[in-house]
A and B are shown apart, each in its own frame.
Chain A
Amino acid sequence: GEDVEQSLFLSVREGDSSVINCTYTDSSSTYLYWYKQEPGAGLQLLTYIFSNMDMKQDQRLTVLLNKKDKHLSLRIADTQTGDSAIYFCAETNPWAGSYQLTFGKGTKLSVIP
């Protein structure tokens, strides 16, 4: 079945850039999402990208998609302590008849002051 892989931990210094990587196996993935989860809270949609795009930028967030390598990354510029959270990569292929998301296990981002 489909699989989404992420590294489990990332530690960066405040003010530096963070890059969270994700790989997926389903070549028919159409929508790819990044969600943020703070401790004890639900998921917050950060951004999403369609498979016909290579890059999407939204303020401090930049999403890069390499469809050939099935690699997705989320770059957070000028990382702040408030960015400390778990970041989930997810993919879906609605043309398969469902909008079920397949999630990675999440990357815990720790920001060092």
Chain B
Amino acid sequence: GAVVSQHPSWVICKSGTSVKIECRSLDFQATTMFWYRQFPKQSLMLMATSNEGSKATYEQGVEKDKFLINHASLTLSTLTVTSAHPEDSSFYICSARVKTGTGDGNTIYFGEGSWLTVV
């Protein structure tokens, strides 16, 4: 099946610094990528939707200036947590929708997730 790669898998950063998480679709083009956050023992919470070449659409309650999302190409989206604080520590997961018109169109694949710990 299609592969979505997230990097880094885990990261520890100091409070006040910024950290970038990459999400790549390795063998398909993704016109839409989604960023989720998951707290322990809970379901996924959608943070934002990003379409290639346009600004991300953020869910209510998600600070767009804090969680910067860039979707520069059909295979790469990045999430930057700016001025990170301990409460930002979480599991962040991206997903990518296969471009419509391809054989596997409309399917959504997830990355392996990135553990962020802010100390």
List residues of chain A with CB under 8 Å of any chain B CB: 31, 33, 35, 40-45, 48, 88, 92, 94, 98-101, 103-106
Contact = CB atoms under 8 A, between A and B. Distances in A.
B49 A105 contact: no
A59 B118 CA distance: 42
10 contacts: A42-B110, A42-B112, A44-B110, A45-B107, A98-B49, A101-B34, A101-B46, A101-B108, A104-B43, A105-B43
B32 A43 contact: no
A100 B46 contact: yes
B89 to A, nearest CB: 14
Contacts of A103: 43-44
Nearest to B93: A42
Contacts of B42: 105
Contacts, number: 47
A40 B107 CA distance: 23
Nearest to A104: B43
Interface in B75-96: 93, 95
Contacts of A35: 110
B17 interface: no
Contacts of B95: 43, 101
Most chain-A CB neighbours within 10 Å: which of B1, B106, B107, B108? B108
